[in-house]
Chains A and B, each alone.
Chain A
Amino acid sequence: MRELALYLAAGVVYVGLGVAFPEVLFSWVEGAAFLLLAVVFVPKLWERVR
Chain B
Amino acid sequence: MSWVAHDVEPYVIQKHLGRRIAIVPLLLGSYAPDMASKWFVYGVGIFGLELKAAEPAQFHRGWPGVGFTHSLAFGLLVGALLLLVFRNRIWAVSFVIGQWAHALTDTLDTVGTMLLFPFTTHLFSLDAWAYAGQTGRYTDAGAYFSGLGFVWDGVFLVWTALSWRVLTRAYFRETVVPADPLWGKAGRYLSETTLVAVYRISFFYGACRWIAWLLWAHVVRSFAFDLSWGGPKWVPAVRSEELNAQAGACSTCHCPSCGAASPKLALAAAVAVGGRVATVRSQRRARRSTRRR
List the interface of chain A (C-beta within 8 A of B).
3, 7, 10-11, 14-15, 18-19, 22, 25-26, 28, 31-32, 35-36, 39-40
Contacts and interface: CB of A to CB of B under 8 A. Distances in A.
Given A40-B194, A40-B197, A22 B205 contact: no
Nearest to A33: B201
Nearest to B195: A40
Chain B's interface size range is 20 to 34
Given A18-B216, A19-B216, A25 B197 contact: no
Contacts of B207: 11
Interface of B: 31, 137-138, 141, 169, 191, 193-194, 197-198, 200-202, 204-205, 207-209, 211-213, 215-216, 219-220
A18 B209 contact: yes
Contacts of B193: 39-40
B197 A39 contact: yes
B288 to A, nearest CB: 30
Nearest to A14: B208
Given A32-B201, A35-B197, A39-B197, A19 B209 contact: no
A7 B204 contact: yes
B137 A11 contact: no
Given A15-B211, A19-B220, A26-B137, A35 B194 contact: no
Nearest to A26: B137
Given A22-B141, A26-B137, A36-B198, A11 B216 contact: no
B212 A14 contact: yes
A9 to B, nearest CB: 12
Contacts of A18: 208-209, 212-213, 216
Contact of A31 (B138, B205, B213, B220): B205
A35 B197 CA distance: 7
- The 9 tightest CB contacts between A and B, nearest first, are A18-B212, A31-B205, A15-B212, A14-B208, A32-B201, A19-B215, A40-B194, A15-B211, A35-B204
B221 to A, nearest CB: 10
B212 A19 contact: yes
A12 B211 CA distance: 10
A10 B193 CA distance: 15
A35 B205 contact: yes
Given A19-B220, A22-B216, 5 more contacts: A15-B212, A18-B213, A31-B201, A31-B208, A35-B200
A11 B204 contact: yes
A29 B220 CA distance: 25
B37 to A, nearest CB: 14
Contacts of B197: 35-36, 39-40
Nearest to B35: A28
